[in-house]
Structure 1
Amino acid sequence: MHLAILIAIGTVCAGIGYANPLLHFPLAALGFPLILGLIAFSARSPRQAFKRGWIVGTFSSLACLYWLAYPIGVYGGISWLLAVPCPILMAMAVGTYYGIYTFILSFAARRLHPFMLCIFSGTLWATMELAQGHFFTGFPWMTFSSAFAYWPESIQGAAFLGAYGLSGLLISITTGMLVWRTSNSAKTWTMSVIVVLVCLGTLRTEPEKFSTLKVTDNATIGIVQGNIDQAQKWDSKFQVSTLKKYIKLNKSLPGKADLIIWPETAVPFQIQNPSGLRVALFNSSKNSGIPLLTGAPGYVLHPNTKTYSSYNRAVLIDPDKTTLEWYDKSHLVPFGEYVPFGKYLPIGKLVQGVGNFIPGTDASPIQSGNLAMGILICYEGIFPELAQERVANGANILINISNDAWYGKTSAPYQHLGLVALRAVEQGRYLIRDTNTGISACIDPLGKITDSTELFVDAAILVKPRLLSGNTFFSSNYALITYGPLILTLLFSIWIAIGSFVSRGKRNQ
């Protein structure tokens, strides 16, 4: 098939398969790995497979990541001349993973039985996504299973295999479709996987099924979406009006809450510093009698050097406590909240709008009444290991505060929501997501969005999550399930390499 046709099909399938505001049809996403598999199986050589896989992967990634130019160009302090190429460069980098996938799969197709090829393609893809989540600080935004997050029935496998493992299982189905006519065992495998996923989606109607999860209590939480213009957010002239708006939205909540949540950096001033704004904020919490969890900037002063470290912080203001509790964001956004290797790279003028935050080190839950809150700030919600750490530390609910105003009305807020929904399924916890401009939501442990807001509207809603203890199969066996595909991929690769060496030796005799 002509390369241009492969590019067109892969790009369209990825563009409409992953979440977006125009046309989202998750099943179309299957066309993307189908094209990559077709490239791997039809290429004249693994080298050609890499080249074609990288090109198709780059265009398909760009269809999903085009929005990167918006926050960089509008808010990043970087000229559009430099901002526009950024998503292209990112897509090229992400495309490299798909090129490597098709390269290895092309090599394996010459050595493995079709049935084994189905399994290997799945473990290889899961390993690739694991690498995407860790190399160069990690960027697992294109996690394949996230394309199906808006169909909760289709992602129940994440409670057993995690998002990466579920992606691998879906990829093995596409490989089975490609080798369908060549092997009865591959047919059996493919149909069996489909049946298992359908049964899970049908039978897993409560999170307690097939797990050790137990409901321990109920809670009522107020989600407040301030809808503050990003261009005004850090302008001191708007600090008073911003605080007044949030306090007014608090009062508009339709009932009594156990906790009120404001989004990431909703408070545009230093809570630690004495000020009239601080007094107004604390008085509001005291008068309502309701604890408030809010995003805010924070810092630690170093007296000896007369310097300070800045943090992206979630702060609990409890009217019944005399001290503040907080969580500092631990996984920062590169070139957004810090510059990687900034001391050594002479690019200060190019990234003058980038923050200079320090990562936090404590992932312990913040306690408020019966709530043990595992906090994920913004981008942290897309990393499985961070949610795993919070639940392992005792969280009975996950809280994701974010500021998606950066992304405008692009695909990013929809994709972001789909990614964090996977954390709820993996961990068997309700996930409360509060964002500045939307989409704010309550997501149950089955990945269902029980309540949500619209983009770019003022909103104050009450949600009633259940608090759970116990573990899913995935969270109980996290290390084995997460790194198992990597081990299997290495074993398969050794097997293939030995087979290739033996075959070459026989030809030379």
Structure 2
Amino acid sequence: MAPDPPDSPETPVRRRRISGPVLLRVALAVAGGVLIYLSFPPRPLWFLAPIGFALLAYVLYGRRARAGFGYGLLFGLGFMVPLLRWTGEFVGLVAWLPLAFACALMISIGTTAMAFTSRLPAWPLWAAFLWAADEALREVFPFGGFTWGKVAFGQPEGWFLPLAAVGGAPLVSFAVVLTGFGLFWLTKNWKLGLPLLVVPLVAGFGVPVGVDASAGTVTVAAIQGNVPRAGLDFNAQRRAVLDNHVKKTIELAADVAAGKAKQPDVVIWPENSSDIDPFRNADAKAAIDAAANAIKAPVAVGAVVVDRSDGLPRNQVVLWEPGKGATDTYTKRKLQPFGETMPMRSFFRLFSSDVDRAGVFQPGSDPEGFRMGPAQVALDTCYEVAFDSVVRDSVTAGATIIAIPTNNATFGRTEMTYQQLSMSRVRAVEHGRAVVVAATSGVSAIVQPDGSVTQKTGLFTPDALVATLPLRSQTTLATWLGAWPGWVLTAAGLVALALGFTRRRKDSNGAAA
């Protein structure tokens, strides 16, 4: 009997069903990403990150490259969608979800390579190299890079943190991922899986983290003046923001005179504490003069300044000295795309007119900070703290302490400020420097060279933190090595890909024979 034609009613319809194992892997991929998110501050659940990567390893092992892409995209969405929720606090989904998807897509590039190489011997090691290479790519692409979600930034509380003093943030990320993949490998080869799990997990205990005051001490005040209300319109209240910081500084001066607080050598104001250009507005200049003269110490003032050469704005920190006024400036070098700048503005305007809220700020190029009293102060403004090279350059310029002036008011009470503070803690250990975080609306904090937080403020409350901190001139191994750890890890990831192609060619030739 002849078979029924394809369109015959008697022909059974074959539906492609998603198998149970595939659904399980889908669920585990998303769950793994969520666990990475949950390991990030403000939760001190750093140990969830290796478990999340163990789930990712289970999902990727033995899969084809295209499956690695799909599962990696799901893993990335489980991680990035909740992590970046703060980006949509006042502008909605138009910023949040596209950014989260773009970050997840970048992660899926790495997971594609991990799946492709999963038949290599000692695969967890190669997979960790590939993750490091993927993070290196995300630091530069697209639009100059977006490093939020670097695994190291979720580890300010954990056992891995001391490794930052050896190989910086790249080594911390590598160790976390290797631990997770080693945990999975215990089910395949416990003799190899056990050292892959244990060695990176405990290696940090053998790394000394210096906290001594080798270059003296400095008493620092971080001023949090607060903003009248949260939201994108806070800049419309520029004078109120400036007045808040002037007021809080003068109040601190009164406390010093009354013996209630120690006289600071250095005062750090936040980014955007004066969005009124003090070089063009006499009233702003007079207000800052009054604050500096009252506190009797140099003040680093975060200001928006219009450059006379081109009429375009700069995000600057201005060194304001009592009796002298402005004596030096630092211009923010790493600008935030879609905020301070707008790449491809005309293209993105087709989708939303909100792109015109983004500024036309111009970047600086000089990493040197300020000499303030006994301290050489590195200045890494807000977004800059997320980039390895930017912070490293400011430290190698001679800094004995790091200041992070930041403005998080536009992100309300979201987790953004805690995520950024964790970056500052990693940088403290990475470069062996105390870090002073001064935020307009919180969280401001005092971070010791070992990454511990000894003081911090609440959100949306005026406050002043005063602390005597160690000045340090030693160079950590991470600072001395610079970008080399990241380059070596990235190169090893590329070697993994090359080995994967070689193995695939051999397998194909063997099958043909």
TM-score (norm 2): 0.88
- Cα deviations across residues 119-150 of structure 1 (Å, max 9, x unaligned)? 21221111111111111211111011221213
Q: Structure 2 residue aligned with 1:277, among 284, 293, 297?
A: 284
Q: Does 1:197 align with 2:204?
A: yes
- Structure 2 residue ranges without an equivalent (≥5): 1-20
**Alpha-carbon distance, 1:189 to partner:** 3.4
**Alpha-carbon distance, 1:344 to partner:** 6.8
Of the structure 1 ranges 251-260 and 292-301, higher mean CA displacement relative to structure 2 is found in 251-260
Task: Report the counterpart of residue 171 of structure 2 in structure 1.
Answer: 165
User: 1: CA distance between counterparts of 2:390 and 2:243?
Assistant: 34
Q: Does 1:18 align with 2:40?
A: yes
Task: Report the counterpart of residue 140 of structure 2 in structure 1.
Answer: 134
Q: Does 1:432 align with 2:441?
A: no
Question: Is the Cα–Cα contact under 8 Å of residues 444 and 457 in structure 2 kept in the other structure?
Answer: yes
Q: Does 1:6 align with 2:63?
A: no
- Cα deviations across residues 139-163 of structure 1 (Å, max 9, x unaligned)? 1110112212134x43000111211
C-alpha distance 32-97 of structure 1, shift in aligned 2 (>3 A): farther
C-alpha distance 444-387 of structure 1, shift in aligned 2 (>3 A): same
Give SS of 1:501's match: helix
Question: Is the Cα–Cα contact under 8 Å of residues 17 and 25 in structure 1 kept in the other structure?
Answer: yes
Task: Report the counterpart of residue 58 of structure 2 in structure 1.
Answer: 38
Question: Is the Cα–Cα contact under 8 Å of residues 245 and 269 in structure 2 kept in the other structure?
Answer: no
C-alpha distance 289-345 of structure 1, shift in aligned 2 (>3 A): same
**Alpha-carbon distance, 1:49 to partner:** 2.0
- Cα deviations across residues 18-60 of structure 1 (Å, max 9, x unaligned)? 113xx542212223222221111153x2211211221221122
Question: Is the Cα–Cα contact under 8 Å of residues 316 and 324 in structure 1 kept in the other structure?
Answer: yes
- Structure 1 residue ranges without an equivalent (≥5): 74-82, 209-213
Task: Report the counterpart of residue 115 of structure 2 in structure 1.
Answer: 106
Q: Does 1:341 align with 2:344?
A: yes
Give SS of 1:55's match: helix
Task: Report the counterpart of residue 246 of structure 1 in structure 2.
Answer: 248
- Cα deviations across residues 284-337 of structure 1 (Å, max 9, x unaligned)? 3234321111101112113xxxx5021001011012546521100011111111
Q: Structure 1 residue aligned with 2:103, among 86, 90, 94?
A: 94
Q: Does 1:28 align with 2:48?
A: yes
Task: Report the counterpart of residue 314 of structure 1 in structure 2.
Answer: 317
User: 2: CA distance between counterparts of 1:16 and 1:238?
Assistant: 37
Q: Structure 1 residue aligned with 2:298, among 279, 291, 294?
A: 291
Of the structure 1 ranges 383-392 and 489-498, higher mean CA displacement relative to structure 2 is found in 489-498
How many residue pairs match? The answer is: 480
Percent of counterpart pairs with the same letter?
Answer: 21
Task: Report the counterpart of residue 221 of structure 2 in structure 1.
Answer: 222
Q: Structure 1 residue aligned with 2:180, among 154, 174, 195?
A: 174
One-letter amino acid of the structure 2 residue matched with residue 284 of structure 1: A
Q: Does 1:235 align with 2:237?
A: yes
Task: Report the counterpart of residue 406 of structure 1 in structure 2.
Answer: 410
Question: Is the Cα–Cα contact under 8 Å of residues 270 and 297 in structure 1 kept in the other structure?
Answer: yes
Task: Report the counterpart of residue 78 of structure 2 in structure 1.
Answer: 59
**Alpha-carbon distance, 1:232 to partner:** 4.1
Aligned ranges 1:442-481 → 2 under 5 Å: 442-481=446-485
One-letter amino acid of the structure 2 residue matched with residue 130 of structure 1: A
Question: Is the Cα–Cα contact under 8 Å of residues 381 and 420 in structure 1 kept in the other structure?
Answer: yes
Task: Report the counterpart of residue 359 of structure 2 in structure 1.
Answer: 355
Larger Rg: 2
One-letter amino acid of the structure 1 residue matched with residue 219 of structure 2: T
**Alpha-carbon distance, 1:104 to partner:** 1.2
Of the structure 1 ranges 478-487 and 244-253, higher mean CA displacement relative to structure 2 is found in 244-253
Question: Is the Cα–Cα contact under 8 Å of residues 437 and 445 in structure 2 kept in the other structure?
Answer: yes
Task: Report the counterpart of residue 15 of structure 2 in structure 1.
Answer: none
